[in-house]
A and B are shown apart, each in its own frame.
Chain A
Amino acid sequence: MPQSREALQEKRKNLSSWLLSLPTMIWLVCFFLVPYLIVVFYSFLTPDIYDVKFEVSLDAYRQIFTSGYLQPFFLSFKLAIYTVLICLLLGFPVAYYMARASEKLKNTLLILIIIPFWTNLIIRIFSWRIFLSYSGVLNEALMGLGLISQPLEIMRTNLAVILVMVYVYLPYMILPLYSVLEKLDFTLLNAAMDLGANEVKAFFRVTLPLAVEGIFAGTLLVFIPALGAYLIPQLVGNQRSLYVGQVITYKVKNIPRNWPMASALSLTLLLMVAILLLIMYAIYRRHLARRHY
């Protein structure tokens, strides 16, 4: 009976794929799902100086939307949006240039972009501190050249945070953009120009729409980590404007501790990212559907 044999095969295939994904599943459940459930559980408890009291309370959530906690969210979103936009503006021309470069130059440029990853992030951020500080390399150089008479106060400002954020996350924007632009058929641009589009029109009507997937991927890769940024604001920013990541850390680190608040903030951030992802995914799906792929 061919049908039952097919059914059997199907069954076996399902079983084997299930077995193969089992280790990952176990890993995800133990180290991802369960910890998150603990976070969810803690967010509904009452804070104590060091720990929590096991009394159910919605205070944490209430506080997020009533007291000054919205400010860090606002700051974090602003930072993430700026970072994405600047990375996009800087990254696109770089990715475009790389995509059109000769095979040899392409590889060299790719390696140059990847090399910074070989150095620890914290070391790179500290280099920026030395570079930007009041009597740092940048100020010394500018004063030496006579361009400024007084050192610029860049360190410990939001500008410094954005600068370093862009520096760290730029490769995450360039690489996906490069991968779509590299596949782009550049004779399409010739075709557009042949049909009467100048360089600008050809870019907006052909290059950009065909790079949308890379823009989506790069935006996600930069936006999500930028939203929860902790290390960079902590090391080059100031303590007057705190970002969500910092606030969460302080709630856990500083005494009196507030585990429920930290948990609630984390979950709120997660929820916002999830909603944003869903919206972007919907837009992306619609974009794909339009193209019948």
Chain B
Amino acid sequence: MEDIILQNISKDFGTFRAVDEVNLTIKSGELFSFLGPSGCGKTTLLRMIAGFETPSEGSIYLGNKDISDLPPYKREVNTIFQNYSLFPHMTLFDNVAFGLKVKKRPKTEIKDRVQEMLKLVKMEDQAAKYPDQISGGQKQRIAIARALINKPRVLLLDEPLAALDLKLRQHMLIELMDIHDAVGITFIYVTHDQGEAMSISDRLAVMNQGKVVQEGPPDDIYERPSSIFSAYFIGETNLITGDVHKVYDDYLELHCPDGTGNILALDSSFHKPVAEQSRITLSLRPEKIAISRHKPRHQDDINIIKGQIEDILYLGSHTQYIVRVGNLKFRVFSQHKRVYFDDKALDWEEDVWLFWHDTDTWLIEDNPFEVLADAELDDSGNLKRYVKRSKI
């Protein structure tokens, strides 16, 4: 069953198009995220669902009812605001009771329901306090209770964890998932944090410049990015671009633009056939690359490339190596597992082999608004063009 259908939604602010022809269907009970850099239109989209903005074009359906022109107070949708927006002049009890009080429900019902909600968010013993007497995480919980007491069909969450510190954020993320399981309604979650979106969502929509770039379950988007933008926005990746030299039965040769004239032999088991002489872009996630000072014997010279370690970033759970291959840079994540007892740590300037599994490269399809030739990388391998345009 569908809960929210966004049909051809656009929103213009003057000449600026904040949301551009978005079509999305969010299923009932789903935890769906809008993920994108700031200014990508995700919050505007959420505000249109809540009723604080009206779409310039298109319609929003809740179930099978067109709610595009309803004021916020007539929609069966409630919102958790970014800074919680708790009423400072009311106790936590009154904050949670607000929705029922406005609807003039009987006092006993209000009391019972508020208690029930406070219990759900584990705040039942703090009801008499005021919002400025509790911590950020507790405010968050009250905001959830206040929104859920109205029994909305859909709960909208606008960057709900942005104001919390890292540990608390992880904790609240799990709590949010528990609450989602407990109440069973649709959650729409807006965030710019790909980690949050990936861990919490059933499905997510990656947005950029007002458009939905890609939509799907987190693993799908991570493993099979449809565009350079999604490949870079979710996680980190290495892009290999080159002209296909020759296609054989099970592998192809790629002229690598690394300045050395190298020809890279790659497994060609892509999800789409590639033609000779065409230019292709492959995404190769840093954690999928193995790094070694010894050339592996079983690799048949396919999916292997030689480089030199330029930088080593120790990150605790793993180390990031930056390996220079000609004028290309590869990022490689390596966990601190030792296979042999006499393994010596890799060092700066050391020559290493990078190799990967045949299904680890992903062919990025052409995308109407991402011409590869424009995508410049800066020194550390970040995508410069997007850094400039949308402040990732």
Contacting pair B89 A191 (CB below 8 A) = no
A268 contacts which chain B residues (CB < 8 A)?
A: none
Q: How far is the CA of A197 from the CA of B87 in the complex (A)?
A: 13
Contacting pair A194 B88 (CB below 8 A) = no
Contacting pair B99 A209 (CB below 8 A) = no
Q: If A187-B83, A205-B102 touch, does A193 touch B71 (CB 8 Å cutoff)?
A: yes
Q: How far is the CB of A74 from chain B (nearest CB, A)?
A: 36
The closest CB in chain A to the CB of B129 belongs to A292
B72 contacts which chain A residues (CB < 8 A)?
A: 190, 193-194
Q: Which of A187, A193, A195, A201 has the most CB of B within 10 A?
A: A195
The closest CB in chain B to the CB of A292 belongs to B130
Q: How far is the CB of B295 from chain A (nearest CB, A)?
A: 60
Contacting pair B73 A193 (CB below 8 A) = yes
Residue B98 CB within 8 A of the other chain: yes
Proximity bits, B82-123, A CB within 8 Å = 1, else 0: 010111110000000011001100000000000000000000
Contacting pair B87 A191 (CB below 8 A) = yes
The closest CB in chain B to the CB of A189 belongs to B85
B133 contacts which chain A residues (CB < 8 A)?
A: 292
Q: How far is the CA of A197 from the CA of B89 in the complex (A)?
A: 16
Contacting pair B85 A188 (CB below 8 A) = yes
- Inter-chain residue pair count (beta carbon < 8 A): 67
Residue B251 CB within 8 A of the other chain: no
A292 contacts which chain B residues (CB < 8 A)?
A: 130, 132-133
Contacting pair A195 B150 (CB below 8 A) = yes
Contacting pair B89 A291 (CB below 8 A) = yes
Residue B78 CB within 8 A of the other chain: yes
Q: How far is the CB of B52 from chain A (nearest CB, A)?
A: 6
Q: How far is the CA of A193 from the CA of B87 in the complex (A)?
A: 12
Contacting pair B89 A195 (CB below 8 A) = no
A206 contacts which chain B residues (CB < 8 A)?
A: 87
Residue A192 CB within 8 A of the other chain: yes
Interface residues on A, range: 10 to 19
The closest CB in chain B to the CB of A212 belongs to B89
Residue A68 CB within 8 A of the other chain: no
Q: How far is the CA of A120 from the CA of B72 in the complex (A)?
A: 49
A291 contacts which chain B residues (CB < 8 A)?
A: 88-89, 130
Q: Which of A185, A188, A196 contacts B99 (CB 8 A)?
A: A196
Q: How far is the CA of A9 from the CA of B52 in the complex (A)?
A: 57
Q: How far is the CA of A201 from the CA of B103 in the complex (A)?
A: 10
B78 contacts which chain A residues (CB < 8 A)?
A: 194-195
Residue A210 CB within 8 A of the other chain: yes
Contacting pair A194 B130 (CB below 8 A) = no
Residue B81 CB within 8 A of the other chain: yes
Residue B192 CB within 8 A of the other chain: no
Contacting pair A191 B102 (CB below 8 A) = no
Residue B79 CB within 8 A of the other chain: yes
Q: Which of A188, A194, A201 contacts B87 (CB 8 A)?
A: A188
Q: How far is the CB of B37 from chain A (nearest CB, A)?
A: 22
Contacting pair A190 B85 (CB below 8 A) = yes
Residue B204 CB within 8 A of the other chain: no
Residue B231 CB within 8 A of the other chain: no
Binding site for B on A (CB under 8 A): 185, 187-188, 190-198, 201, 205-206, 209-210, 291-292
- A–B complex contacts, Cβ < 8 Å, 11 sampled: A191-B79, A191-B81, A192-B98, A194-B77, A195-B78, A195-B146, A197-B98, A198-B71, A209-B89, A210-B88, A292-B130
- Which 7 A-B residue pairings sit nearest by Cβ, starting from the closest? A191-B85, A195-B99, A193-B72, A197-B102, A187-B85, A194-B79, A196-B102
Given contacts A187-B85, A191-B87, A196-B102, 7 further A-B contacts (CB under 8 A): A190-B81, A191-B79, A192-B87, A193-B52, A195-B150, A198-B73, A205-B102
